[in-house]
Amino acid sequence: MVKNTQVIFKKVPTSYLPVAGEHITTQDTEFDLDTQLSNGQFIIKQLVLSVDSYMRGRMRDPSVKSYNSAFEIGKPLLCGTMSSVIKSNNPQFKVGDLVYSSGGKFEEYSLVDDDTADDYKIRNEPKETGLPPSYYLGLLGMPGLTAYVGLIKFGQPKKDETLYVSAAASCVGQLAGQLGKTFGMNVIGSAGSDEKVEFLKEFGFDNAFNYKTNDINTKLEEQAPKGIDVYYDNVGGKTLEAAINHLNHYSRIVGCGMISQYADHPETPANLIELIKRRVQFTGFVVTDHSDMEDEFRKDVTKWFLEGKLNYKESLADGIEKTPQALIDVLQGKNLGKQVVKVTDL
């Protein structure tokens, strides 16, 4: 038997921010590594956990309908994980294989059954590229694919156009902006601190501003004098409203995420009529609908990163017990880049 620390969804929060220990907590259980495996089963040890803002939307009463399922009270949180196979009775998963899951359990050890094995994908690339496993939860994982699909498929970038990215210091935002630069776009980003603004400029954004200390409309008028052609929206609410005020005719909005809608009193834009007047194409998307682009994405972004054409920043919390606070930090915008939790080294 070994100790198996789990991150448990304990109680539905009644306000925007959950409280560590009250709504999310860690508990120690035991895991039997010597258990006899049935056909198709394998055991994994988690290496890295992905902590994402959308997890807050799953911390709800299951009777409240949404596009994603609610976490189960008393059970581990579920999100992206990178793990190592340590015991296997499944011919597709060998001991030593690295595996990715978009809905792995937040616990140190997991037993994977044959009927859920399809949720795990072999990701042995870190052994070849030398990149950390955590990068396959961010730059080369779901957030990276989100940026790639959103900008390329729905943003339809063109040289010399202006791209505005909100929450631009996030994993999705930083990559969406950098991809825009590879297409020759003029890229503007907004973030929630002066430190993040400097980070965006270092990553090649043409302009960036702190939306907490500046009026968004004023900054967009200043930094996008020719208007916005593509708005990559991670925020919604009043930020979306401000972006709409500066959209050009026949521009595109990529509806990626709307973190403002998780708040106690969600903001709503008051100028949606402008989408009609300006003939705007507004496309909301969920990245899991576009797995057909995954191989192309991973090939392109790995190549561009290793060639030095892309930069990447992540926030790493060391230890599974840090997970509750890591999620709270994400919801408060304290993370710089992708937030991950390291459970153990490869």
Question: How much is the pLDDT for 264?
Answer: 63
Q: Is the dihedral of CA 4, 143, 209, 212 positive or negative?
A: negative
Give percent above pLDDT 70 in the chain: 99
* Domain match, 215 and 177 both: yes
* Domain match, 154 and 268 both: yes
Radius of gyration of the chain (CA): 21
Give per-residue pLDDT as tens, 189-213.
Answer: 999 999 999 999 999 999 999 999 9
The DSSP code for 50 is E
Question: How much is the pLDDT for 258?
Answer: 85
In the predicted model, what is the mean pLDDT of residues 144-156?
Answer: 97
Asked if 79 and 51 touch (Cβ cutoff 8 Å), the reply is yes
Helical ranges in the chain per DSSP H:
55-58, 125-129, 142-148, 171-182, 194-202, 216-223, 237-245, 273-277, 294-306, 323-331
Arithmetic mean of pLDDT over the chain: 94
Q: Which of 260, 252, 218 is nearest to 236 (CA)?
A: 260
Question: How much is the pLDDT for 57?
Answer: 87
Question: How much is the pLDDT for 108?
Answer: 98
* Domain match, 84 and 171 both: no
In the predicted model, what is the mean pLDDT of residues 160-187?
Answer: 96
* Domain match, 154 and 284 both: yes
243 pLDDT exceeds 90?
Answer: yes
CATH of the domain at 334: 3.90.180.10
Question: How much is the pLDDT for 265?
Answer: 72
* Domain match, 281 and 149 both: yes
Show the domain range for 17.
2-137+314-342
Q: Is residue 295 included in any domain, yes or no?
A: no
For the chain, what is the domain count?
A: 2
In the predicted model, what is the mean pLDDT of residues 112-120?
Answer: 94
Lowest mean pLDDT among 210-219, 274-283, 335-344: 335-344
Which long-range contacts (C-beta less than 8 Å, at least 24 apart) are formed by 64-69? 67/286
Q: What is the pTM of this model?
A: 0.88
What are the backbone angles phi and psi of residue 142, rounded to the nearest 5°?
A: -60, -45
> Three-class SS of residue 156?
coil
* Domain match, 239 and 263 both: yes
* Domain match, 326 and 282 both: no
Question: How much is the pLDDT for 260?
Answer: 78
72 pLDDT exceeds 90?
Answer: yes
In the predicted model, what is the mean pLDDT of residues 47-58?
Answer: 92
266 confidence band (pLDDT: 50, 70, 90): confident
In the predicted model, what is the mean pLDDT of residues 135-160?
Answer: 96
Asked if 40 and 92 touch (Cβ cutoff 8 Å), the reply is no
Question: How much is the pLDDT for 257?
Answer: 86
63's CB contacts (< 8 A; 6+ apart) are none
Would you state the torsion angle of the CA atoms of residues 287, 293, 299, 300, taken in this order, to the nearest 10 degrees? -80
Q: Is residue 194 included in any domain, yes or no?
A: yes
* Domain match, 165 and 279 both: yes
Question: How much is the pLDDT for 263?
Answer: 63
* Domain match, 148 and 284 both: yes
77 confidence band (pLDDT: 50, 70, 90): very high
Q: Which of 328, 257, 280 is nearest to 67 (CA)?
A: 257
In the predicted model, what is the mean pLDDT of residues 14-22?
Answer: 93
Distance CA 93, CA 52 (A): 27
Q: Which of 148, 149, 201, 210 is nearest to 175 (CA)?
A: 148
Distance CA 260, CA 173 (A): 15
Lowest mean pLDDT among 58-72, 89-103, 270-284: 58-72
Q: Which of 74, 59, 72 is nearest to 19 (CA)?
A: 59
Q: Which of 205, 193, 198 is nearest to 162 (CA)?
A: 205
**Residue carrying structure tokens 């995420």:** 257
Lowest mean pLDDT among 57-66, 123-132, 284-293, 323-332: 57-66
- For residues 203 and 337, the model is more confident at 203
> Three-class SS of residue 216?
helix
Asked if 139 and 171 touch (Cβ cutoff 8 Å), the reply is yes
In the predicted model, what is the mean pLDDT of residues 258-264?
Answer: 73
